[in-house]
Structure 1
Amino acid sequence: MNSPVRTDLPWQVQSSEDDSDYIDLKRIWRAIWSRKFSILSLVAIITLLASLVVMSMAPTYKGTSSIIIENKNSQVINFQPTYDSSGQISEYLQTQLGLIQSRGVAERVVRELNLTEHPDLDPRQQPAPLINFSGMLKWAQNLFSSDDEFSGDKPATEAEIFDQVVNALMLRTSAYVEGKGQLVYITVEMGDSLSAAAAANALAQNYIDSQLESQMEMSMSSSNWMNSRLTELRSELQTSEDRLQAYREAEGLVDVGGVSTISANELSLTGDRMIDAARQRAEAQSQYDQVRRMEGGGWERLASIPAVLGHPLIQQFKAEQARARAQVDEASRRYGDRHPAMVAARTELNAATASLKAQVEQVVAGIERNYQLAQANEQSLRASFNKNKDQIQDISRKEFKLRELQRDVDSNRQLYDTFMTRLRETAATADMNTTNARIVDKAIPPSKPSAPNKQLIIAVAFALSLIIGVIAALALDVLNNTFKSTDDIESKLNLPVLGILPLVSRKQAKQVQHLFEKGEDKRFCEAVRTIRTSITLADMNSPKQVIVVTSSVPGEGKSSVAANLAFAMGQLHKVLLIDADMRRPTIAKNFDFPAGTPGLANLMAGTAKADDCIRTVGNIDILPAGVVPPNPLELLASPRFAKFLEMAKGHYERIIIDSPPSQAVSDSVLLSTVADSVVFVVKSEATSIPLVQRSIGQLLQNNASITGVILNQVDIKKAAKYGKYVGYYDHHGYSEAKA
């Protein structure tokens, strides 16, 4: 029962990389075509609803006026030079678009056209919404407030109504520029064409008027400010000139610049020399400090000082010492210690070392002398600098003060002259206030509404509903992971299809186990004969006497298949039908056996004999399940059942066992071990493919001999939409019209 999982199951062989990249367009078309009426119904409903909504929408008219806004000219009063940059035109136009749609312009239009009484904008004339969220919110607030706070709905004041109308007009207003030009279009959407055109023209005119008024206000304000400021500047200029002259007279300065320049140059030169001397002294002191730190380490450590090591003579003597040492090393490899050449090389090395030592001592002494000279030079220059600094500081202070007073006079004079020039320009151009915007085309009442675009909305609704319907059909087809045709069984299970059984009508469903016996439905009877023939041909080499009929889950019609198959085989053989589904037996009920009729459970328990349990119905014998036992699996696994089965083989040519579903209990697995063949029943478009694969896998793991699969309850009308099965039934003369 607990066999290891097999990896060579039939459906596992069919996997292929090419199959995963294959798109079955035919299947997609069949999925759409099979649900064409549902898709068309959805399209019709959504399109109809969209049409009704569109027809109920009030038309909106759009009034459009156009104005040209040229680049901003130089202002009449401008304190900075203006630049005509093409890159600033776009920013300027964007600013003007904002001004056109500003609240100030909208308020002017509302007052001019008296829009507070217009039915489109007046909140008092608006229809009540279907769901008043604001009213519900107020009701909730009043519900949780005290009685003193509850005041009910107050009528809106004139200021509130005016504010709401202005906001509504701003929402209906738009201004835009087409391309990179300077032509601005102003549009207003209203419920009637006359109001839309009037509002658009009013917006354009009030924008121009507001620009003129703002320029005039700015010009007047600038002129007044300049007059007052010019008086202040004249007084400040006179005061600064008086201070300058008074300072010159008090200090007796006639040519302070010339005198102070000579002294400053001398002090500057002295300071530069002192800085150079300080730098030289610092460098000499640094070298001297290095020498002092290395004095205790001998002349060799002194030679490693950068100041000593960088001396050209030191480098020369070091090179001679290195060359002598190389000769010693060369001679040591060729001669002994007392060889004349070796002695000569050592003598030359000692001489080079002594010369280097003497030169190092001289360089060190020179570093000490340089430090002393640099220190003395720095002290001399510092004393000279301090002596001259006191003399020139007084002149420098006077020069600084004098220049400060002179700069104050120059700046006041320049500012006064600038204001005087601008004031004269303003007086000359006081009557030249113009705007750089003008109306090009006034809005005319439109003859057709701009919205809603009924044809477009209906077309979009039609297209979207069609797309949604197609997507839903494909999604349902993908989610319907069941067997819909024999091709699905052969491709997913890799097992032969013994046949298909059509879906019977509701009237026949109650007597489905008697359909072949009574022969009322010729199409159904022919399908059962086809299954009988397929089973007969499958066991030509090895006759399969015991046949187990099972399925994955209850409700797939395995009991009906077993009963009809038994009656079909009863025409050729002696057949015994056994109801082994002792948990949910159906055969006794379907064949109207009396309640308490003994059956397989009684036979296995030993409370009844075989002759008492087996009943003859038509041309077959039936062994019902009997009284439902508490341990059906133990009864089927008992030696008594195997002994009975061997005895039955001697009396019957075919034994058909109605087994419980394989996924519900393990009875079918046990029965498959004692059977010669297993017929697996799958309900069309009901049982999921993974569930069937798992069920068949369990049977195969227990070495069950599965003859094939029967696809049950196939809807022939629906299958005709897929182009399946119909050819078979028409060919044999059992189409629905002939049945």
Structure 2
Amino acid sequence: MGLDANMQEPGRAPSGGRAEPALRVEELDLRRVVSTLWRSKWVILMLGLAGLGIAMLYLRSTVPLYEARAEVLWEVAKPNIVDIDPVASQASAASDFLLLQSQIKIVTSSRLLGKVVDEMGLAERPFFNPFAVPPEARSPDLMSLGGILTALARLGLDLGAPEPADPPAAKQREITIDALARSIGVSWVENSYVLVLSTSTPDPRLSADLANEIARFYILDQLEKKFEATRAATEWLSERVAELRLELEAAEQTVEDYSAASELISEEALAARARQIKEMRDRRRDLVERRRDLRGDSTVISDLRQAENFAAIADRLRRPDLVDLAGEIADAPDDGVRAAVIARFDRALLQITLGIEQNAKRAEAQIAALGGSIASLEKELEVQSKALVELRQLQREAEASRLIYESFLSRLKETTVQEGIQQPDARMLSDAWVPDWPSKPKKVAILGLGAIAGLVAGVSIIVLREKLNATFRTAGELEARTGQAVLGTIPLAPLPRRQALLDFLAKRPGSSFAESIRNLRTSVLLANIDKPPQVIMVSSGEPGEGKTTTCVALAQISCSLGKSVLIVECDLRRRNFRRVFDIEHERGLLSVLSGRMRYEDVVHVEESSGMHVLPGERSSVNAADVFASKRFAEFLQELRGHYDFIFVDTPPVLAVPDARVIAQHADALVYVVRWNRTLRETVAAGLRTFAQVNARITGVALTQVDMKDMERYGYRDFSYYRTAQRYYQN
């Protein structure tokens, strides 16, 4: 259960130790809701009838529209007459949702609708073009300044405004196209490729014709699109084929010119030349190795001769004669013989050495000759290779140009053939029929919605009014939201003026008002059975809540118990007792407290009931200071010894601090709340003010309750009122 921000849950004490009053959220009472709605049934019914009337006026002012529907089938997998890929490809089974939705945009495009407008002359029909009606027959548009001035001029109030001129024909055509777009509907049938075209106009025949015409123009638009695409492709291909033919001729001529200008040999001869160069390189490499071996042998032989290693020379040269001479040298008996043999060995070795040198020179000459030949052949081969590569590149370019030219030429012939075999992607599935009944407005639905809207508005207003009510209407609500016991519910007394209160209670002791006061008195006395209250204080949060009337009535009713009763007026600012009782003197409570007058000389005795009345008195002294004085407390203590009940009427607690001061001396505190008048925030603030000074509130009382009005409200707290009337003597 929720709590208001300024109240706390009952029974829970704040940090200061005193219990704060609480406002609780009231639970939903269906019976109360139904009773509230039943009480306001005529208001709800009138609003429902008003909504129904508005709907009827709307229907009378609305032109009935007849809807016609045509269906177009989008053919996804249509076979070609010839096996040629079309220039403008049709939809396939793989077409997605966006492709289908784009067809709706095509149908509603201004270009297509403009053709329909021109074909059917819709710009001359007032439904699509309001300017087709003569100016004097047009209804003024009250939503624009020009329309308002026109309406005033027709009423005879010429404000000098110039007559607006009709827009030009081009602008009227745009207006007609926009009106046609608003009057058509396009949608796809779910899980199919069927496009539904619907049109709504005041003329059933026109609706059917429009639907069929839009479908026809949609199909024609597809054909035109394909024809235009094929025609544009043919023109472009023709231009491109002519360009490619020139490029092919130029490429072939370049190949021929290059072949004639360059001295090219065949590829086989070029390969043989490359093999020849390789062989010459191998021969030169062999000669180089031979020259290196010869010179190596010459060097080794020279080194061995200096070392006189004749046997090694003979072995290296592998000459039998040298082997024999080397043996003789080794076997020479003396130096003379040995020197002669060595001379013979050197002569033989010299011949051999000269032969080696000649062979080396001959190899070197051959190497030089082969090097020149190889260089010449390599240079010639390089030139021939580059020329051959260039020729091959030119030939490939010419071949590529030829392939492209043949491809474009073939596509040109195919496209030329397609111009005569184009088919639309859609076909008419069913023509629109002339409708027999208008489709708009839906009279029954609009009348029902109007009545329901009125009823809902009425219920909403009543519920909102109840929700915005921030007062108390039942004792249960008051108790639930404040956490205080409700001691009584006091009905509104039928008094012409406050002075008649005492006479009313005396003459009608059995009235419902008197019985409610007795019930309040009983509740106060039984609030503490062990120690019945003697000083009973009555207060409220703000003026006009009935605290004085309640206090006086409690005092007079208590006199019937045979008890001595005193009522003290502590509201020194307003002093209402002199308007209730016939008090002649001006002296009162302050004169007794100050000692200027004796109590017996100031108190007023009501003859009919024997009740004693101590009125208030005007003074310049602050009333709160008076009630906070020690003398006031002693005076109340003295009165306790003379009276059984002392009722104290205090000023509102939220207005002045007097009530909080007096509450410290009271045995019981009755807080009154005016029915259907006092705000919840005011009650919460008043109770919180008493709680701040630790004043214990005995309970609250709901005053000035209009029982008959409560019965009409349907609150269960007062459901007994009608059945209990026989017990009252009103």
Match of residue 547, structure 1, among 527, 532, 536: 536
Q: 1:169 deviation in Å?
A: 1.1
Aligned-partner Cα distance in 1 for 2:591–2:385? 135
Matched, 1:96 2:103: yes
* Cα pair 2:230 2:418 within 8 Å, conserved: no
SS of residue in 2 equivalent to 1:184:
strand
Q: Which amino acid aligns with 1:69?
A: W
Aligned-partner Cα distance in 2 for 1:592–1:256? 150
Match of residue 183, structure 1, among 188, 194, 199: 194
Q: 2:19 aligns to what?
A: 9
Q: 1:46 aligns to what?
A: 51
Could you list the per-position Cα deviations for residues 542-586 of structure 1 after superposition, in whole angstroms to 9, with x for gaps in the alignment? 232211101122221111111111221122223222221122332
Matched, 1:582 2:572: yes
* Cα pair 1:260 1:399 within 8 Å, conserved: no
* 1:296-445 mapped onto 2 (5 Å cutoff): 398=387, 401-445=390-434
Aligned-partner Cα distance in 2 for 1:665–1:206? 88
SS of residue in 1 equivalent to 2:94:
helix
Q: 1:68 aligns to what?
A: 73
Q: 1:711 aligns to what?
A: 702
The percentage of counterpart residues that share the same residue type is: 28
Matched, 1:197 2:208: yes
Q: Which amino acid aligns with 2:251?
A: S
Q: 1:539 deviation in Å?
A: 5.0
Match of residue 173, structure 1, among 184, 204, 210: 184
- In structure 2, the gaps of 5 or more residues are 1-12, 151-160, 278-376
Q: 2:143 aligns to what?
A: 131
Aligned-partner Cα distance in 1 for 2:647–2:389? 127
Could you list the per-position Cα deviations for residues 275-296 of structure 1 after superposition, in whole angstroms to 9, with x for gaps in the alignment? xxxxxxxxxxxxxxxxxxxxxx
* Cα pair 1:516 1:528 within 8 Å, conserved: no
Aligned-partner Cα distance in 2 for 1:684–1:522? 19
Match of residue 527, structure 1, among 496, 508, 516: 516
Aligned-partner Cα distance in 2 for 1:98–1:170? 11
Aligned-partner Cα distance in 2 for 1:514–1:409? 133
Aligned-partner Cα distance in 2 for 1:197–1:45? 37
SS of residue in 1 equivalent to 2:488:
strand
Aligned-partner Cα distance in 2 for 1:543–1:692? 26
Q: 2:170 aligns to what?
A: 159
SS of residue in 1 equivalent to 2:398:
helix
* Cα pair 2:66 2:202 within 8 Å, conserved: yes
Could you list the per-position Cα deviations for residues 391-450 of structure 1 after superposition, in whole angstroms to 9, with x for gaps in the alignment? 998677556644542343223212221232233334445432332322222222222222
Q: 2:672 aligns to what?
A: 681
Aligned-partner Cα distance in 2 for 1:228–1:473? 81
Q: 1:381 aligns to what?
A: none
Aligned-partner Cα distance in 1 for 2:619–2:64? 75
Q: Which amino acid aligns with 2:405?
A: Y
Q: Which amino acid aligns with 1:716?
A: M
* Cα pair 2:66 2:438 within 8 Å, conserved: yes
Aligned-partner Cα distance in 2 for 1:479–1:393? 107
Aligned-partner Cα distance in 1 for 2:463–2:382? 98
Aligned-partner Cα distance in 2 for 1:704–1:646? 18
SS of residue in 2 equivalent to 1:240:
helix
Closer, same or farther in 2 for the Cα pair 1:91/1:500, shift >3 Å?
closer
Aligned-partner Cα distance in 2 for 1:152–1:261? 103
Q: 1:659 deviation in Å?
A: 0.8
State the TM-score, normalized to the length of structure 1.
Answer: 0.71
* Cα pair 2:77 2:92 within 8 Å, conserved: no
Structure index of larger Rg: 2
Matched, 1:662 2:648: no
Closer, same or farther in 2 for the Cα pair 1:468/1:485, shift >3 Å?
same
Aligned-partner Cα distance in 2 for 1:261–1:434? 64
Q: 2:628 aligns to what?
A: 637
Q: Which amino acid aligns with 1:570?
A: C
* Cα pair 1:483 1:688 within 8 Å, conserved: yes
Mean Cα deviation higher: 31-40 or 124-133: 31-40
Aligned-partner Cα distance in 2 for 1:526–1:470? 37
SS of residue in 2 equivalent to 1:578:
strand
Aligned-partner Cα distance in 2 for 1:200–1:513? 88
Mean Cα deviation higher: 549-558 or 245-254: 245-254
* Cα pair 2:524 2:668 within 8 Å, conserved: no
Match of residue 115, structure 2, among 104, 108, 112: 108
Aligned-partner Cα distance in 2 for 1:401–1:132? 81
Closer, same or farther in 2 for the Cα pair 1:223/1:537, shift >3 Å?
closer
Closer, same or farther in 2 for the Cα pair 1:184/1:592, shift >3 Å?
farther
* Cα pair 2:48 2:455 within 8 Å, conserved: yes
* Cα pair 2:71 2:430 within 8 Å, conserved: yes
* 1:491-570 mapped onto 2 (5 Å cutoff): 491-504=480-493, 511=500, 515-519=504-508, 522-538=511-527, 540-570=529-559
State the TM-score, normalized to the length of structure 2.
Answer: 0.71
Closer, same or farther in 2 for the Cα pair 1:686/1:255, shift >3 Å?
farther
Q: 1:718 deviation in Å?
A: 4.2
Aligned-partner Cα distance in 2 for 1:434–1:729? 87
- In structure 1, the gaps of 5 or more residues are 139-149, 267-387
Aligned-partner Cα distance in 1 for 2:87–2:124? 48
Matched, 1:733 2:723: no
* 1:440-455 mapped onto 2 (5 Å cutoff): 440-455=429-444
Q: 1:218 deviation in Å?
A: 3.5
Matched, 1:249 2:249: no
Aligned-partner Cα distance in 2 for 1:154–1:469? 46
Closer, same or farther in 2 for the Cα pair 1:531/1:120, shift >3 Å?
same
Aligned-partner Cα distance in 2 for 1:485–1:689? 12
* Cα pair 1:501 1:527 within 8 Å, conserved: yes
Could you list the per-position Cα deviations for residues 569-612 of structure 1 after superposition, in whole angstroms to 9, with x for gaps in the alignment? 12222322222112233232344656x83333454455655455
Closer, same or farther in 2 for the Cα pair 1:392/1:533, shift >3 Å?
farther
Aligned-partner Cα distance in 2 for 1:393–1:664? 122
Q: 1:293 aligns to what?
A: none
Aligned-partner Cα distance in 1 for 2:451–2:498? 41
Mean Cα deviation higher: 660-669 or 413-422: 413-422
* Cα pair 1:680 1:710 within 8 Å, conserved: yes
* Cα pair 2:573 2:618 within 8 Å, conserved: no
